[in-house]
Amino acid sequence: MILAGVVTAYPPELEKLLNFSIQNNPGIKSYDSLKKSFLHRAKFLKTLPNPVLSLSLNNLDTKRYIPNKDNPMSSFGIYLSQRYVLPVKREKASHVFIQKGAEVDLMKEKFVKELLKKLKLLYWDFSYSYEMEKILFKTREEIKSLMNITEEKFRYGKALLSDLLLLKVELLKVEEMLSNAKKLRETSKERIYALAGGRVKLKGSPMKLVPFPDSFSPERNVEVRLMDEKLKTVKKEIERAKVEHYPDILLSAGYGIRPDIPNLITLRTGFTLPVWKSKREDLLVLEAQERYRSLLMKLEDTKLRVEGEFNALKESFRITYKILSTVEKEIEEKKKEIEALMIAYRYDRTDVREILRAYRILWSLELDRAKLIKELNQTVAKAEALQ
């Protein structure tokens, strides 16, 4: 058996395409800005709220609506107030968004893996179109060679006109399949350009089999790791919710201007009271804890799902590879049969229909072989995206 060669790395052209896409796809770059936005928010949450500046007219009487010396209680007031949030509350709120920034790193990795998977799938379709053309060009030449032999036999009355017509019909079928191969190539190429974020010169690569990944661990899967980061974020949110009832301190200073009498200075302080802690702040903690439990269950579900997907792909690869091995054997046997039939045809011991029947099977097998290698490589791409 001459089985298609197994390579240990992707073709250089595909590697170049993947690297180009990582550098130029705008979707990847969007995650960098998203992470920066969370880090800016984290810094913002460490700062105090803006102070409040107030202007007022105080204790006006109903006869004169402005401060005056006959009303010593009246005044023009200027007040500056500041809400002071305890550092522990600000720090814990900031940590939530720092942790969200860590989530973005894995979101970006997940996006990249999905992008590379799509590019690999399309690239193998693209390369398969060239392999189809190669097989079909060879098929066309074989049909033409058979036509030449049949035309010569027809001139000597040893072949029928219907034999020539049959070969011409077969030639038209090949031309139609060539058009389909070109259509597949062009559509795949345009989709590749859209994902890559630019146009890369592509020539296609020989259909060589890429090995299936040796091992798989759900803990290394990017979706699982992203779920772990989400759990860490919710933990930070729980920590923040637990200090929500801590008091905020209110500071205020005012200066009252009174006509013709001494001015007034007002200093005030206060703080919030957790009067409704059990009915308000505690609910924030309970809400975050329930989200944590929900994510824990989702984490276990994700582990089971990705492991199941990987095992399914592995089994699909094994079965398809076995089919490929059988196809390879049948191709070699069919080639030997055709060699014998061609010799027999030259000596009028068989007819062209028998040869064409054998050729059709060979051409179908060769196309099946290329398609099976394409499908195997696409299965590997899907499995790699799960790692």
Residue 358 near residue 343 (C-beta atoms within 8 A): no
Instruction: Using DSSP, state whether 217 is helix, strand or coil.
Output: coil
Model-level pTM? 0.84
pLDDT in tens, 10-57: 888 999 999 999 999 999 999 999 999 999 999 999 999 999 999 988
DSSP state of 49: P
Token pair of 18 as six digits:
């993947």
pLDDT in tens, 141-181: 888 887 887 777 777 776 678 877 888 888 898 899 999 99
Beta strands 75-84; 264-271: pairing state = unpaired
Q: For the chain, give the number of residues.
A: 387
Token pair of 160 as six digits:
């029928």
Report residue 352 CA to chain centroid gap: 52
- Which of 357, 355, 337, 361 shows the shortest CA–CA distance to 150? 355
Positive/negative CA dihedral, 290, 292, 298, 304: negative
Buried/exposed code over 175-190 (b: 16+ C-beta within 10 A; e: otherwise): eebbeebeebbeebbe
Q: Spell out where 2-140 has E strands.
A: 52-58, 75-84
12-45+95-245+276-386 fold: Outer membrane efflux proteins (OEP) (1.20.1600)
What pLDDT band is residue 68 in, cutting at 50, 70 and 90? Answer: confident
Q: Does residue 275 carry a pLDDT above 70?
A: yes
